[in-house]
Structure 1
Amino acid sequence: MTHENLSYAINLKGFDSIDSYVRNRFGKNARHIFKKRKRLELCLNISCKKYVGVIGEGEYAVLMSALKIMLIVRFKQRNDINEVLTSWEELTNNLIHDIRSNKASLFVIYDSNEPIQISIQYHFGKIMRAAINGYDIVYEKFSLGSMALYEQAKWCLENGYEILDQGYGYLDHKRMWSNYIYHYKHQVCFSKQFKSVIVGNLVYLKFLVKEYLKSKGIKEYWEELKNRINKKGRETESRNIDHSFNIINQNFDFKGVLKEMDFNSSKGLKKITNDFLYATVEHIDDVKMFQVLNEKNTYFLKGKQHAQKFLFVEYS
């Protein structure tokens, strides 16, 4: 059954490096991709690791728990439902065996020792299918989805893979990176036993109805209605991190006014710090945060070359 959904893939045939693919795909805009990747490295202690063939149970449990939290937080932010989470235990139990048998892999971007982007991929011959992706939303300025695709496509080229299939479902960075777009197909397989025939045909009918509704534009209408209903929810959610920035002079008097803070003590403060790093291209190791004791809800970030004073209120 052919879906109305478009699927997105990166065809790497004919390219000898990821940079040559980027230049071919993005043209004069390739410099923006390289600049974003460089900025990520200039601001954070970035490293990437691919887990395929071997992974310890403890490390696997930590990464899968982190990925689950990323998905929960991101889809809560979107006021949406992630169907993957409904079968998370089954996925977790099976995936580790697939990784150890080279049928699947985990790709992780770390900031120091903290995973900030995690992807699950499945391997089919010379095709790598990117199945599930999650990232820490406090790093959203750094376009981790696009940066992950850069690193994954690079790994594919270095390891003899020709296609990085991103699956169906539109996302800006998926469309931007893909040079091959196709209609997704779904096959329903079942045995000739009576019960299997009944269940198989019901599943087929379910997909048939869904595709018919999509073809008539009803899906788009429903998504628009859902977005309107959820708009207030998103506005309420956004109040959980409420802050504003004001640039101050580098000669600000620190003595007797400021108390040093750990910007990792709050997701909100961590996000503000990351936004500051992205805007100023300061490195995380050179930045300190202070609370301004004589001004309510006021904080101060100072790097080597830049400083910012901001108001921060986090609602529970």
Structure 2
Amino acid sequence: MNPFFSKSFTGNWIRHFAPRHKVVRLNFIRPMEFVRKKFSPYYFNVGKNLTNGIHYTIDSNESDFKGKVLLIHDVHQYFHEQPKQVHKRLKIKKVPQYKGYLSRLDGYKDIDGYLLENLSKKGRYKVRDGEKKLAKQHRIDFKVFTGPVPKNEYDIVMSALYGILSKRWDDLGKDNDILRDRDYYYDLVYDMMLSNKASLNVLYADDTIIAVSLCFLSSKVLYFAITSFDPDYSKYSLGHVIIGKIMKWCIDNGISYFDYSKGDNDYKNRWATDSYLFENHILYDKGSVSAFLIGNYLYYFYRFKQELRDKKINVVYSKLKYRLKSIGLMHKN
């Protein structure tokens, strides 16, 4: 099952972001749940844009969508199967959002086989060189935490993750939503680890945590969700190092897909076998005038938002938020 439909995920998200709102299940679409905030003219999926990709099925014999508008964030194009048939009054509009990447791992006995088949000689050298240099100059260790974990160990790793994220994003001069929602992630990850739906993957140098990756897990997919590296160790290409360590764990544990999720950067391009798109889906009753108008408003709103993102306006916005936040802190002091 997709981990973003698990009770540990949906329960934590509702508790932190929609505690006073009614959660709705609809018969025509499974398995997701929806929330409608007070005075809002539409429903949106539980989890909103904090999942790493979801998918759904449509029952064309059900009609409880009538009079409604649904917004579904981050539909995973690679894993989502197109409905073969939908009710004649149901309209589905799709807006491409972020690009995503994944690696198909079935058929590989070890990571060396994967590297040999999917990376050039130069690429293999690049991903191995950082780890060799790191191991030569430091005593390195790698641990995967999943299942029941002592709370004190969990606190140490999460504190390190937040510390590294804060240091890295301060250096970039950008605002970071993960740090803003740290209480949510603290509760979420622990609960999901208990049910083996999440893992914390930790890289140590001389017993110091230098990289942490939060991953979500299904029986066949690892979602590479949040990762940060200590910028003091940037010369070792820690992105390649930790991906290699996690991929080895995936192959050893029968995981079929390593999903790098949203975002476009060098290490994802180098490692991935496939790319895909995340999409926002707007579903509405085209027989209802109000649903038709609201559904089309949402469609064009998210198209426009994506056009701004394509022009990197979101990067400017993130830097502006960080600066305003810094000014606010200075005034408080």
TM-score normalised per structure 2: 0.60
Question: Does structure 1 residue 15 correspond to structure 2 residue 108?
Answer: yes
Structure 2: runs of 5 or more not aligned = 1-93, 284-289, 324-333
Alignment partner of 1:212 out of 304, 309, 318: 304
Map 1:126-275; keep pairs closer than 5 Å: 126-186=220-280, 209-214=301-306, 216=307, 219-222=310-313
2:183, 2:262 → 1: CA distance?
A: 23
SS in 2 for 1:93: helix
1:47, 1:130 → 2: CA distance?
A: 20
2:260, 2:245 → 1: CA distance?
A: 14
State the shift of 1:170 in Å: 1.2
2:228, 2:272 → 1: CA distance?
A: 19
- Structure with higher Rg: it is 1
Counterpart of 2:108, as a letter, is F
Q: Relative to structure 1, is the Cα distance of residues 136 and 13 closer, same or farther in structure 2, using a 3 angstrom cutoff?
A: same
Q: What is the percent sequence identity of the aligned residues? A: 24
Deviations 1:261-292 (A, max 9, x none): xxxxxxxxxxxxxxxxxxxxxxxxxxxxxxxx
Deviations 1:69-123 (A, max 9, x none): 1111111111112212221101101211111110111000011221110011111
User: Contact 2:128–2:241 (CA<8 Å) still a contact in 1?
Assistant: no
Counterpart of 2:168, as a letter, is R
Q: Which residue of 2 aligns with 1:71?
A: 165
Q: Which residue of 1 aligns with 2:212?
A: 118
1:187, 1:96 → 2: CA distance?
A: 30
Structure 1: runs of 5 or more not aligned = 190-196, 234-316
Deviations 1:12-48 (A, max 9, x none): 1222110111122212111332232222211111000
2:178, 2:315 → 1: CA distance?
A: 23
Question: Aligned pair count?
Answer: 221
Q: Which residue of 2 aligns with 1:26?
A: 119
Q: Relative to structure 1, is the Cα distance of residues 186 and 88 closer, same or farther in structure 2, using a 3 angstrom cutoff?
A: farther
Q: Which residue of 2 aligns with 1:90?
A: 184
Q: Relative to structure 1, is the Cα distance of residues 146 and 97 closer, same or farther in structure 2, using a 3 angstrom cutoff?
A: same
Q: Relative to structure 1, is the Cα distance of residues 32 and 108 closer, same or farther in structure 2, using a 3 angstrom cutoff?
A: same
SS in 1 for 2:311: helix
User: Contact 2:225–2:261 (CA<8 Å) still a contact in 1?
Assistant: yes
1:207, 1:45 → 2: CA distance?
A: 52
Q: Which residue of 2 aligns with 1:263?
A: none
User: Contact 1:2–1:183 (CA<8 Å) still a contact in 2?
Assistant: no
Q: Relative to structure 1, is the Cα distance of residues 85 and 208 closer, same or farther in structure 2, using a 3 angstrom cutoff?
A: farther
1:53, 1:222 → 2: CA distance?
A: 40
Q: Which residue of 2 aligns with 1:265?
A: none
State the shift of 1:68 in Å: 0.6
Q: Relative to structure 1, is the Cα distance of residues 111 and 228 closer, same or farther in structure 2, using a 3 angstrom cutoff?
A: closer
1:54, 1:42 → 2: CA distance?
A: 33
State the shift of 1:185 in Å: 2.9
Q: Relative to structure 1, is the Cα distance of residues 87 and 229 closer, same or farther in structure 2, using a 3 angstrom cutoff?
A: closer
Q: Relative to structure 1, is the Cα distance of residues 90 and 205 closer, same or farther in structure 2, using a 3 angstrom cutoff?
A: farther
Q: Which residue of 2 aligns with 1:4?
A: 97
SS in 1 for 2:120: helix
State the shift of 1:152 in Å: 0.6
2:236, 2:200 → 1: CA distance?
A: 20
Q: Which residue of 2 aligns with 1:266?
A: none
Q: Relative to structure 1, is the Cα distance of residues 42 and 155 closer, same or farther in structure 2, using a 3 angstrom cutoff?
A: same
Q: Which residue of 2 aligns with 1:271?
A: none
2:126, 2:188 → 1: CA distance?
A: 39
SS in 2 for 1:9: strand
Q: Relative to structure 1, is the Cα distance of residues 31 and 86 closer, same or farther in structure 2, using a 3 angstrom cutoff?
A: same
Q: Which residue of 1 aligns with 2:151?
A: 57
State the shift of 1:225 in Å: 5.4
1:18, 1:165 → 2: CA distance?
A: 16
Q: Relative to structure 1, is the Cα distance of residues 119 and 187 closer, same or farther in structure 2, using a 3 angstrom cutoff?
A: farther
